[in-house]
Each structure stands twice: as structure tokens, then as C-alpha cells.
Structure 1
Amino acid sequence: MIRASRSAPCRRSPSRRRLILRSAAVRLLPLLVLAVALLQRPWPCRASAPEHAAAGYTEPAIEASLDRSPAAFGTRITLTLHYRLPAGASLPTPLRISGLEGLSECSRRVEADRITLIFLVDHLDTWQTGPLRLEYEDADGTVQTLSAPPVSAEVLSVLGDKPEEAQPRPIADIIPGRAAWVKALPWAAGALALTALVAGLVWWLGKRRYRDIAADVLPPPHIRALTDLQALDASGLYESGAVKAFYFRFSEVVRRYMEDIRGFPAAEMTTEEIARQPLSTLDRDLLPLLRQADLAKFAGHRPTPAAKEAALESVRGYIHQTSPAPEAAP
């Protein structure tokens, strides 16, 4: 009996454990269902990030910063605009940035994620931009705007930390400068004058030497003129009808002889220019012959054979009268 009473509780203990487990399972079942439901639910924060990354989406933004503050007056300051554009967006050309009105821009450089602008600090007290706006075009071609607040920098005075104690000097007049070529102008003028003097001397010596050689080699002017007249008379130009050619050569012989003995360029002058020269009476007697030759050369006038012979004889007489006297035999 005693054994029977002890063994009965032992047989009931498994059932009691089952009841306890079953009760615990019933209590935990709602929690398990809730946990499974929460695990199967998509979380927006964790799921949207991969989707945005897969779609290449970037939230547009812009941030402005200066390289230093304060900045000294008259120096340069750098403004950097860091920007982010959505996928497919681009900056227009030319770049459109507002808020920089009234500032002295020196240069700008556009990169993939930033725009670097360099300005001259020419404002007193404070150098400051306006509200910054950067325009861009999205993937659809629509113009959008990125905005950033103004940036500023304190401007240091050129008078130092205590401008009230500074004693600036008055502005002096601008000293006029002289160009380098102005300084060299007197030397250039002197060199040019020296060159002209040397050239003139060489020309004069050459001309004098030519005259000396010509006097030694060439026959005297009167001999050459008489020889040319004889050759012209024997050429038969007048008799063959070439009256104009005859009088061209006749006028040339007379003018060249007059140039040789009188010293003025008669061969290059017109008859009227020769008439205005200081001529002797013998020289002026030749002017009617030269005018007659001009009529034959340019007006088609045909002098008679007698007039032609008279002109030849008059020139021969003029040459004999103006030629130097023959030297007396020793």
C-alpha cells in the first residue's frame, strides 16, 4: 500500500508537464504569429534605399563655401559651390548662377561636382553674395533651381588693425613714363643721319669717279654729238617715211649734248622746262628746233626736207660754237 501511494504521483507528472507546455505554447502563439507577420512585412526605409540606388536617384542639393574669412582688401577670394544633380540632369551652357551681381569675378572652373569661382575683394567692411541659385536641366529638359543661402567674408582694411591711428600719405601725381623706343629715338636718328651721310659720300665719289672715267674713255660731248648727227643723217629714216623716229633721235642728240655742257638734266625735261633754265643766247636759238621736233613727234607734223637739213646744220653750228677750242700744237 505504501508503494502504491508513492508510485501514483510519478505516473501523473508527465501529464502535468504537458499541460504546462501546452499552456505556455498557447500564450506564446500570438507572439510567434506577430513576429512572423513583422518579419514578412517590407520595411520602407530598408527597401527604398536599394530601389533608389538601382534607379540612380540622387537628391539634388547645393552648398556654398569660401576659402577664407576674413580677406584683405584687394586680394582674391574663392567661392566653391558643391552641387549634386539627379540622374540624367546637366548644367546648361552658359552657366546660370544668380546672387553674384555686383561682385568682380576673375575666373571660374566647372567640374563634375563643384564650381569654383574666384573674385576680387573690392568691397569695404564685408564681402557678401546674394542668395545663390544655380539652374540645371533635369532628364526631361525642364529647368530646375538649386538654392543656397548667401555667404560672406569680413574685409580687412589696408590701414591695419587700427585704421583710426593710420596716417595715410596724400596721393602723388602719376609720374609720366617714357616708352623704350622714345629713349632710343635720338640714337636711331643719329644712326640714320650717319647712314645718309655715308651713302651721299659714296654716291658723290662714285659719280665723280664715273665722270673721270668717262672723260678718259668716252669721246668729248661735241665729238659724240657730231658723230650721232652724222649717223642720223645717213640712216635714211626721214627719206623712208619714219619722220617721227627721225625727230625722236634728233631731239635726243640735242638734249643730251645740252645736258653734257650745261649741267642740268635736259634729256629728262620737256622743251618748256628747258626754256625756264638760265640759258645763253646760243642755247635759246635751239628752242625753235626742239619745238619743231615736238610737233613731229607728238602732233604728226612733217617738216619739209629743206627744214630738216636746216635743223641739222643749225645744230652742227651750235656744237661748233660751244665746243672747246682745240689746243695749240707745241
Structure 2
Amino acid sequence: MDKKRTNLSIIIITILLFVIVGTTAAQEPITATISTPAQAATVGDPVELTVTITHPEGYYVLPPALETGWEQFVIADQTPATTVSNRDGSATTIFTIDARVFAPGEYATPPLVLSVTDGAGELNEVIAAPIPVSIQSVLVEGDTELRDIKPQAELPYTNWLPWIIGGILLAVLLGGGFLWRKRRQARLALAMVDNRLPHEVALDELERIEGLHLPQNGRFKEYYTFVSDTVRFYIEKSYGVPVMERTTGEIQTSLRNSNMDLNVTRDFVNFLNASDLIKFSTFEPNVADAKQLMLSARNIVASTKPLVITTDDVDKQEHTPISPPQGPHFSSNGKLTNAEVQA
């Protein structure tokens, strides 16, 4: 009985030892250190402080939110923390602090309190011990030479002069091109001005219509319309009588008050009647009729061709009374005018 009790006690003690050892192994220590490069920094230079925290796997380090003024150190930047796993089951978290000191001397970093959480809500704190930091002066010991004050820092300067000159040249080129184009358009517009007299325009248009050979292709209505409209337009321009939108009867009434010769008026009315017969009826003319219409049109234009009075004509007949001719009169520049010649 005593032997059994002894064995049971040994088993219980062994189990307790395993539990104690396992708990101790699970609760690995959390350590934090600060390190800096071996070489000394000068006044105002960056002092790189590397913070290293070793902790169990699965723990998380909460980097401290340092103020800009960390005692004698001025904090310029702080990198995000990175964590790597170790072979022994622990993990290491590292982040860097960029600090500056603006006076030479021997310094020590303040104690850095770090918070580490196990992810289950338990928070642990660990302190990174201070380390010495040596800040040297930028002046060399024993150097007594006087030096000028350093000039002001030069800001980046952009030379705009080439751009300004280029812009002016571009504006000059564009302006010159614009003026050249305007003058060219003006010359083209002047070249397109038709200086022909009305009878010249009418005769040229009749010749163009004749060249279309419309009667030979059976297109009589188009032919008669073109020829009739050409003569109508000519009479309207020459005598100032609106005939383009009037019927033949209305035109005949209007021409009674014009200075058109009665014989020409009769020929013009007959010409319009012949044209209307083809344009507004089913009567089918032949090629000979079409040629006769063209001949009548040319005769009307020729018989009403204006008299162009020049200075030479007046000088030649200086002592000869001239009766005002019948029909429209045009000056040498083609402008409709009244023919008045004094003896």
C-alpha cells in the first residue's frame, strides 16, 4: 500500500514539473534594445536609432508615438515596424527613429517604453535602456582660420528668357501668317469680282447653256427654263424692271413704263410666250425650235446692248448734238447711269 502511494506521488510530482517547465518555456522573456552606428555624428546630422524588440511568436509591438522634441533629440522621422520570425520560435520586431541633435556633446537616449500585446488582450511593457550618443562639432579642433559667412542657399531657378523669346517669335509668326492670309483672301475676293456688263454676262451664259446640248438629249423643259431665266435676269439688271418673279402679262405691263424700244418689248414678250408654252404645257418642240429660241434670246440681248459713253466719244462729237439713245446706259466702269451729252 505504501509503495503504491509512493508511485502515485512521483507521478503527480512529474506532471507538476512538466507543467511548470512548459509554462516557463511558453513565457519567453520580452527584450528591447536601442542601437546606433558606431561612428559619431556631427551637429544636425541624422542619428539613426534602431529599436529591436524580441518577443514570442504571435505577439505584436505597438510602436511609440514620439513627440518632435524627445528631450535633447529632435525626431525627424520614424519608420514602420517590421517583424521577422526566428528559428527558436520567437520573433523580432524592428523600427528606426531618425533623430537630430543641434549642439555638440555627449548625450544619452531617454528610456523608451514599448507596449507589446499577445493578441488576446494582455498588454506587456518593456523598456529599452538608454544608450550613449556622441555629437561632434563641425569645426576642426585647432582650426583658427577665419572664414566668410556662407552665402544664402540658392533656390532652383528656371530661366524663362528662352521661353519668352520663343513665345514672342511664335506670336509674330502667327500674326504675320494671319495678316498674309487676310490679304490673300482679299486679293482672291477682288479677283473674283465680276466686272462684266450685264449683256456680256447674258451672252456668256447663253453660250454655256448651248454647250450643254440639252435639246439633243431631249431635255427641252430644262433648256427653255435656262434660256428664259437668263434673258429675264438680263432685262431686270439692265432696265431695273423686276421680271424674275412675274408672269408674262405682268412683265408686259411693267415694260410699258420703261425706256425699252417697243419693237424690243414685242420681241421679248413673244420670246417669253414661246418659253412658257414649253415650260408649262405638254407641247414637245424639236431641236430646230430650240435653236430658234436661242437665236431670239441673243437678238434681244444684242438689240438692247447698252451704249458705253467714254470721254473720247464726247471729244469726237464735241460740236454735234446727240439725242439720248434708247435703252440702258452704262459708264466705262459698268455702272448704270443716264446718258447726258452736252453740245
Q: TM-score with structure 1 length normalisation?
A: 0.46
Q: TM-score with structure 2 length normalisation?
A: 0.45
* Greater per-residue strand proportion: 2
